[in-house]
Chains A and B, each alone.
Chain A
Amino acid sequence: MPTVEFQGKSFSIDEDGFIDNYEDGKCDEWVQYVKKEEGIDELTDEHTKVIDILREYYEKNGIAPMVRVLSKLTGFKLKHIYELFPSGPGKGACKMAGLPKPTGCV
């Protein structure tokens, strides 16, 4: 597994840039690192809201929320989530929140 250094912290990631361990990703440095990788200019409150809700849902339920659940919880339409995270809720938001990589026939 490759390791990346960012702002004095090191993260163990996979080939798609998802963090290996959820607990290690619960820090601002990880969010800043993914922000750079995902080409997001500025981290707004809306970004933070999506990330917080993803983390809260994952800690409570052990899975990432369905897209409709995420929309309902955040109040953001899918289109707006794509505006916030150009790679989408899976590759963008879940990666930034430190959740495991989405699986299945993706």
Chain B
Amino acid sequence: MAFISSGYDPENPMKDRITDIGPRNYEEFYPPVIKENKGKWLYHEIIEPGVLVHVSESGDEVYTVRVGGCRLMSVSHIREVCEIAEKHCGGYVRWTTRNNIEFMVDSKEKVQPLKDDLLSRKQPGGGFKFPIGGTGAGITNIIHTQGWIHCHTPATDASGPVKAVMDDLFEDFGRMRLPAQLRISLACCLNMCGAVHCSDIAILGYHRKPPMLDHEYLDKMCEIPLAIAACPTAAIKPAKVEVDGATLKSVAVNNERCMFCGNCYTMCPSMPLSDKEGDGIVLMAGGKVSNRISNPKFSKVVVGFLPNETPRWPSTVKAIRQMVEAYTADANKYERLGEWAERIGWERFFEKCELEFTHHLIDDFRDPAYFTWRQTTNFKF
């Protein structure tokens, strides 16, 4: 398409420039019932999976229908969300912190037509556009990252594995049969954008090979001291190298010390490390952010490596299913996955989930690693 100006004048970039206005105030977008009852809510109930009701001091009720969102959405999809909001909710809609979509109506009669409409909408391939669920003790949306769609440091994809895992666990999005809610997250490299470090089950992209060094360009593309300082294990040191007879400044990587985090590539484009066979997925489990009963926890590595199996990641899906089923069958009511694993002991966790324990799971990073070893005779055979 030919160029169409928005009115911006490239000759005068600072002319009529508006800055620092921040986001729109959220109060502008409140549905009337929310605006009137703000700060006056008495209680709420989960009527059925995906449908909540909040009751206010004034007796007003607001019914919320939560539907799954794929997070990576086209404008046409968002327009369809707007069309639904227009039709049922007076044009108001909201997104949750796990990228689900919530439609709110102010009376019970409006809930059923909204639900029928949402469930009648399907993708051409057959998938639900707006599956209802994500409330209570079930499995809600997966917090995830960019993957091969947009990022340059991933070790796995994001949208693909998320789709595969949610397809497998789809029933649990629309029902509440678990002991407590189960949060699953994905990050495509161990920058851990999002919530993998604090989720009940976490999927994490992982490399297994040290970076390649593009000596010819390294000094030109990179600030070498930054690449050296980026390494958590001090595997990188400055070096002079001979390339085509010329002596160039570069770095040397001690492969024995490298644990493939990829931090140096983040800082230095001449140190790429992505690898088709080497890259894959690590699974972690047992994290949480809430203070309910026990303190927040970090998730712990429970599967050292699973290969990238495009497009459906079957072994990742299978391992997650094993954890979900073992947890559902064994944990007490209200017990999060991490609380369950700590109560029964991690040796029982591996037994019940039928996961293999390998030496990769034993912490060896600096002094704090010591505190993760067992300094007691309390264990089960």
* Chain A hits for B222, CB < 8 A: 100, 103
Report the bound CA distance from A104 to B264 in whole Å. Answer: 9
The answer to whether B224 touches A103, judged by C-beta atoms less than 8 angstroms apart, is no
A22 and B220 in contact, given A39-B10, A103-B269, A104-B267 (Cβ under 8 angstroms): yes
The reply to whether the CB of B18 lies closer than 8 angstroms to some CB of chain A is: no
Which of A26-34, A44-52, A57-65 lies on the face that meets chain B? A57-65
Report the bound CA distance from A105 to B224 in whole Å. Answer: 17
The reply to whether the CB of B345 lies closer than 8 angstroms to some CB of chain A is: no
The reply to whether the CB of A86 lies closer than 8 angstroms to some CB of chain B is: yes
Main secondary structure of the interface of B (DSSP, over half): loop
- How many residue pairs, one in A and one in B, have C-beta atoms under 8 Å apart? 38
Report the bound CA distance from A21 to B269 in whole Å. Answer: 14
The answer to whether A39 touches B220, judged by C-beta atoms less than 8 angstroms apart, is no
The answer to whether B13 touches A62, judged by C-beta atoms less than 8 angstroms apart, is no
The answer to whether A105 touches B191, judged by C-beta atoms less than 8 angstroms apart, is yes
Report the bound CA distance from A64 to B222 in whole Å. Answer: 10
The answer to whether A103 touches B14, judged by C-beta atoms less than 8 angstroms apart, is no
Residue of A nearest to B226 (CB): A63
Query: Which among B12, B221, B266 is the interface contact of A105 at CB below 8 angstroms?
Result: B266
* Chain A hits for B10, CB < 8 A: 39
Interface size on B (CB < 8 Å)?
A: 18
Report the bound CA distance from A58 to B267 in whole Å. Answer: 16
Interface size on A (CB < 8 Å)?
A: 15
Residue of B nearest to A21 (CB): B220
The answer to whether B225 touches A63, judged by C-beta atoms less than 8 angstroms apart, is yes
The answer to whether B266 touches A62, judged by C-beta atoms less than 8 angstroms apart, is no
* Chain A hits for B12, CB < 8 A: 39
Query: Which among B14, B191, B223 is the interface contact of A64 at CB below 8 angstroms?
Result: B223
- Give, as a whole number of angstroms, the nearest-CB distance from A39 to chain B: 4
Residue of B nearest to A38 (CB): B13
* Chain B hits for A101, CB < 8 A: 221
The answer to whether A62 touches B223, judged by C-beta atoms less than 8 angstroms apart, is yes
* Chain A hits for B11, CB < 8 A: 39
Interface residues as binary, B209-225 with A (CB distance below 8 Å gives 1, 0 otherwise): 00000000100111111
Report the bound CA distance from A63 to B228 in whole Å. Answer: 11
Query: Which among B13, B221, B224 is the interface contact of A39 at CB below 8 angstroms?
Result: B13
Interface residues as binary, B261-274 with A (CB distance below 8 Å gives 1, 0 otherwise): 00000111100000
* Chain B hits for A22, CB < 8 A: 220
* Chain B hits for A21, CB < 8 A: 220
* Chain B hits for A20, CB < 8 A: 217, 220-221
A-B contacts, 6 of them at CB < 8 A, read A20-B217, A39-B12, A61-B225, A63-B224, A101-B221, A105-B191
Q: Could you list which residues of chain A lie within 8 angstroms of chain B, going by C-beta atoms?
A: 20-22, 39, 58, 61-64, 86, 100-101, 103-105
Contacts A39-B14, A63-B224 known; 19 new A-B pairs at CB < 8 A: A20-B217, A22-B220, A39-B10, A39-B11, A39-B13, A62-B223, A63-B223, A64-B223, A100-B221, A100-B222, A100-B223, A101-B221, A103-B226, A103-B266, A103-B267, A104-B266, A104-B267, A105-B191, A105-B266
Q: When A and B form their complex, which 8 residue pairs have the shortest distance between CB atoms, in order from nearest?
A: A39-B13, A63-B223, A103-B267, A63-B225, A62-B225, A21-B220, A62-B224, A63-B226
